[in-house]
Amino acid sequence: MGSVPDPVRRLLGWRDVIRGIRPAGQVLLYRGHRPGGVFVLLSGSVLFERGGGGLKSLREVGVPEGGAVLLPLPTELDVESPVQITVATEVDLVFVPGTLIESDEQIARALDSRELRREGLRGPRAG
Amino acid sequence: MNVQMESFVYDDKVVRKFVLATVVWGIVGMLAGLLAALQLADPLFNFEIPWITFGRLRPLHTNAVIFAFAGNAIFAGVYYSLQRLLKTRMWSDLLSNINFWGWQLIIVAAAITLPLGITQSREYAELEWPIDIAITLIWVVFALNVFMTLKIRRERHLYVAIWFYLATIITIAILHIFNNLWVPATWTDSYSIYAGVQDAFMQWWYGHNAVGFLLTTPFLGLMYYYMPKAANRPVFSYKLSILHFWTLIFIYIWAGPHHLHYTALPEWASTLGMLFSVMLWMPSWGGMLNGLLTLRGAWHKVAEDPILKFFVVAVTFYGMSTFEGPLLSIKKVNYLSHYTDWTIAHVHAGALGWVGFLVFGMLYWLAPRIFQAELWSKKLSEVHFWVGTIGILLYIVPIYAAGLTQGLMWLTFDDAGRLAYPDFVETTQKLMPMYWARVVGGGLYITGTLMCAWNLLMTWKRRPATYEQTVHQAPALAPNVRPTVESPSDLEASGAHVANVAYRLEYFMKARWHARWEALPFFFSLMVALAVISASLFEIIPTFLIKSNVPTISSVTPYTPLELAGREIYISEGCYNCHSQMVRPIRAETERYGEYSKPGEFVYDHPFQWGSRRIGPDLHRVGGKYPDLWHLRHMKDPESITPHSIMPPFPWLLTEDLEYEKIPKFMLAMKRLGVPYDQGELDRAIDYARAQAKGIADGLVEQGETSGLENKKIVALIAYLQRLGTDIKKEPAAGTPAAVSH
């Protein structure tokens, strides 16, 4: 289990912000869907996949030791996802709804924490 | 010369009763410990039942094993040995019985009140003020009975065991009274007259010396009686007894502040505590060596006698614990060990090994004598010994490992200079295998205790239809006449021409002065009291009188009425059992928790809540760190916030009503202690509390929680938690009433 940066732990004091463990194989985001919120991964890893009949794995994103990964970028909330994001190894994550990010400055600030590594839908970007 | 012999019979009935109580309460206390160990391994074992949740169960466990198991064993051992050492029956059977029944009632009262969350929150002194008074009365009954028995004794000299009994009686009385000075707010709530730094100092003066004078000196006394009896050998050294007795009781009393290294306690006090703790090693080992060397020439008996095996292991654990204690008191070691499970392992090595095994050895030795029947199964007592020994090792070794793991993980930084394990729960998770091993070790130890209970029960069943009353005879006590002719000096006999000082030195070294003291029990007791009181005052007076010890901070104000009510809930639920409120001035702590704690921040903390363990993180700077809803969710279901958290859920705080009507009583008691609440605040306390509660509850409703929480305990607890450690971040609020400035 990964560590939880304090800004992320604080997020759990907002309605609709939920922390949970997701098992391997569960789809976090389907291709073509809008994310509607961001995931902060605290441990485990996810696969970015794309394809027609059979999915092709594009890349695997894991949580570095002592870190946390935010995906997708808050600017991509209304974008139709070009990829499917599937849990590769059990993840501990916090889901933050997009409506909350837009309406609450404290949430936006917490997600801006430099302790979070960012992963965009089209590729990794530095936080 | 014609010596008039007097006949008398010993009272073994009271001994039998105390033996029974020892075994019964021992099992209860240890089962509570086992359940607590299970709860730490998996919070499911809290069963969401308030009465047995960890914060309430842990004090029940500690009080049961200290005061019920060890306490009853002390009474059993003292009542048996004292009569024989003084060649007289106890002065009053009535007082003996009041002592017995009174003590059991106190234990029952503790067993009811602690699970109900009625507590004063100071470790090993949690019982509320009416029970404190009962303890005082029963202790006075015990003391009176002992002193009057001394008065009617037929043996002039007091054997070394009795010195230790006297030290226990006198010192426990002093500790209990001065640590339990409270202002009652209600029948079930009270506030220590001391606050913050001074309260912490008094608590650990008491806490450390309760270990010293309830778990050490009486058991040394028992060792000095029962071990030579079991081995049929005299005590190794009389002079060593004198030396280690006086040094032990004088030095022990200074050592308490070593429990508060790097805290807001003035450094001079904790340093003094450390120095005396290190010195304490020597007198402690004096006792251990005197015990073990008593077996010289009798070691072959240890192989075949389980009673001696229990005694040898007990004394060995005493030696180990009293070496480790001074080690832990050294600042640099304490830096690592404090708040960790290392302390728990240390305590259990002493409690299970020293106290427990000495009690079991004593019980097996006593059983045939008090039940007047052969022990039912020596073989079973042998099995008990081995099961118990393996149980102790399986308990302490993993918990030492757990303590070191915690300490190192909390302190470690990575190459980038950040905390390597910033998430507290990571460190907790690492301990789980060790916590499960502890459950196995503790389970084995209890299995051994059950074997002992069974063995004693079956021995009791073999008792004669009527106990034989053996009539003993001894001459009445002759007047204490100081011999006019001193025994000849070795120096004179050798013909040596030496200065007068050499004769005096010889007199001192032969301890003849002490032999004279031993014939004067009341003078002896006075000297004990002087040693203990004078040593205490050297630390207590400066701690209370030097103002610079606690620099005031102008922005620190009293708790609001609602926060005060929340504090009562925090105390009642036993949060202090897992969370400290003391950020030490250590980088690893300031990085993790925030600004280190200042003495002036605790001036309204009656009683202090610094805690002594970190099963969970420190809370002193938790105020304002998380939103109110976070706290509500966390208290309701900690795992929803922190997966794998071992904190028990407290869902009842969301459903139980807050007793607003009690708040003015809390404030009035605080006002009597000097907390600056004015009359207007007292008169409108409930209104202020309701207003603050409504603010919090409305905020929670906005976040989607159900309404009506303003009448529930959770809002008061949230108010208190949100206040913690925030005063120093604020500007002093000029002209604002103290209680409503937050």
Shortest distance between the Cα of A66 and any Cα of chain B, in A, equals 7
User: What percent of chain B has pLDDT above 70?
Assistant: 97
| Tens digit of each residue's pLDDT (9 = 90 or more) over A107-119 | 888 888 777 888 8
Closest CA to B225 of B151, B163, B140: B163
- Residue from B423, B425, B429 whose CB has the most chain A CBs within 10 Å, to mutate: B423
* pLDDT above 90 for B602: yes
Domain boundaries, chain A: 6-120
* DSSP 8-class letter at B613: B
Topology of A6-120 in CATH? Jelly Rolls (2.60.120)
Contact B414 A66 (CB under 8 A): yes
The answer to whether residues B453 and B570 belong to one domain is: no
Q: Is A31 on the interface with B (CB under 8 A)?
A: no
Residue A21 near chain B (CB below 8 Å): yes
Sign of CA dihedral B369, B370, B375, B381: negative
Over residues B715-734, mean pLDDT: 88
pLDDT value at B394 more than 80? yes
Shortest CA distance from A20: residue in chain B: B640
Q: At which of B465, B485, B502 does a domain end? A: B465
Q: Is the pLDDT of residue B617 over 50?
A: yes
Contact assessment for residue A12 and residue A19, using Cβ atoms and an 8 Å cutoff: yes
Phi, psi of B189 (to 5 degrees): -140, 140
Overall average pLDDT of the B689-717 stretch = 94
pLDDT value of position B538: 82
- A56: DSSP letter: E
Residue B390 and residue B452: Cα distance in Å, rounded?
A: 16
Full pLDDT tens readout for chain A, 127 residues: 556 777 788 888 888 888 888 999 999 999 999 998 999 999 999 999 887 556 778 889 998 877 789 999 988 988 999 999 999 999 999 999 988 888 888 888 888 877 788 889 887 654 3
Closest CA to B53 of B560, B741, B615: B615
Name the pLDDT band for B490 (thresholds 50, 70, 90): confident
Whether residues A13 and B420 touch (CB distance < 8 A) is answered with no
Do B191 and B607 form a contact (C-beta atoms < 8 A)? yes
Please name the helix (run of DSSP H) or strand (run of DSSP E) that holds residue B664, with its range, or none: helix B663-672
User: How, if at all, do strands A56-62 and B189-192 pair?
Assistant: unpaired
pLDDT in tens, A61-81: 998 877 789 999 988 988 999
* CB-CB contact of A53 with A71 (8 Å): no
Of A14, A19, A66, Cβ closest to residue B629: A14
Please give the residue range of the domain that contains residue B413: 372-465
pLDDT digits (tens, 9 = 90+) for B662-675: 999 999 999 999 99
Compute the Cα dihedral for B700, B702, B703, B707 and give only its sign: positive
**pLDDT at site A126:** 41
pLDDT of B742 > 50? The answer is no
Count of domains for chain B: 2
Using CB atoms, pick whichever of A10, A16, A66 lies closest to residue B630. A10
What pLDDT is stored for residue B502 in this prediction? 79
User: Closest to A13 (Cβ–Cβ): which among B425, B429, B627?
Assistant: B627
Percent of chain B with pLDDT over 90: 83
- Interchain CB distance below 8 Å, A16 and B704: yes
Tell me the C-alpha distance between B188 and B536, whole Å: 30
Q: What is the mean pLDDT of residues B648-673?
A: 96
The minimal CB distance from A14 to the residues B420, B643, B703 is found for B703
Mean pLDDT computed over every residue of chain B: 93
Which A residues in the span 61-100 are in contact with B, Cβ-Cβ below 8 Å? 66, 92
Residue B27 lies in a domain: no
Q: Are the CB atoms for B565 and B663 separated by under 8 Å?
A: yes
Q: Give B180→chain A minimum CA distance, Å.
A: 40
pLDDT value, residue A53: 59
Closest residue in chain B to residue A94, using alpha carbons only: B641
CA distance B174 to B338: 27
pLDDT of B372 strictly over 50: yes
- Are B449 and B577 found together in one domain? no
| pLDDT tens per residue across span B399-420 | 999 999 999 999 999 888 888 8
Shortest CB distance from B630 goes to which of A13, A16, A21? A13
Please tell me the predicted confidence (pLDDT) of residue B11.
97
Q: Of the residues B465, B489, B512, which one is the last residue of a structural domain? A: B465
Tokens of B268: 């001079």
A-chain residue closest to B700, CA distance: A15
**Confidence label for B536 from pLDDT (cuts 50, 70 and 90):** confident
Residue reference for tokens 């859920």: B649
Span B294-352, pLDDT tens digits: 999 889 999 999 999 999 999 999 999 999 999 999 999 999 999 999 999 999 999 99
Question: ∠B10-B11-B12 over CA atoms, to 5°?
Answer: 105
> Given an 8 Å threshold on Cβ–Cβ distance, is A10 in contact with B644?
no
CA–CA min distance A67, chain B (Å): 10
Rounded-to-10 torsion of CA B489, B495, B499, B505: -30
Band (pLDDT 50/70/90 cuts) for residue B741 is very low
Please, are residues A42 and A2 in contact by the beta-carbon 8 Å criterion? yes
Provide the pLDDT confidence category of residue B82 given band limits of 50, 70 and 90: very high
State how far the Cα of B424 lies from the Cα of A4, in Å rounded to an integer.
Answer: 9
Q: Is A2 on the interface with B (CB under 8 A)?
A: yes
Nearest of B532, B518, B389 to residue B449 by alpha carbon: B389
Of the partner residues A13, A14, A21, the one whose CB lies closest to the CB of residue B643: A21
- Which amino acid makes up residue B553? I
Query: Residue B622 sits in a domain of what CATH number?
Result: 1.10.760.10
The full 3-state SS of B425-456, as one line of letters, equals: HHHHHHCHHHHHHHHHHHHHHHHHHHHHHHHH
- Quickly state the pLDDT bin for B484 (edges 50, 70, 90): low
- pLDDT of residue B138 exceeding 90, the answer is yes
CA distance B518 to B65: 33
Last residue of a domain, one of B415, B430, B465: B465
Q: Decide if B221 is inside a domain.
A: no
pLDDT tens by residue, B156-171 = 999 999 999 999 999 9
The predicted structure's pLDDT at residue B498 = 73
Predicted confidence (pLDDT) at residue B1 exceeds the cutoff of 60: no
pLDDT exceeds 90 at position B676: yes
CB within 8 Å: A92 and B643: yes
Inter-chain CB proximity A12 and B633 less than 8 Å: yes
CA A93 – CA A2 distance, rounded (Å): 10
- B134 is a domain residue: no
Distance from chain centroid for Cα B172 = 11
Mean pLDDT across B214-220? 96
Burial pattern A20-48, b for ≥16 Cβ within 10 A else e, equals ebbeeeeebbebeeebebbbbbbbbbbbb
Same domain for B584 and B695, yes or no, is: yes
CB distance B453 to A35 below 8 Å: no
Distance from CA of B190 to the nearest CA of A (A): 34
Burial class (CB in 10 A: 0-12, 13-18, 19+), B44: exposed
Residue A91 near residue A43 (C-beta atoms within 8 A): yes
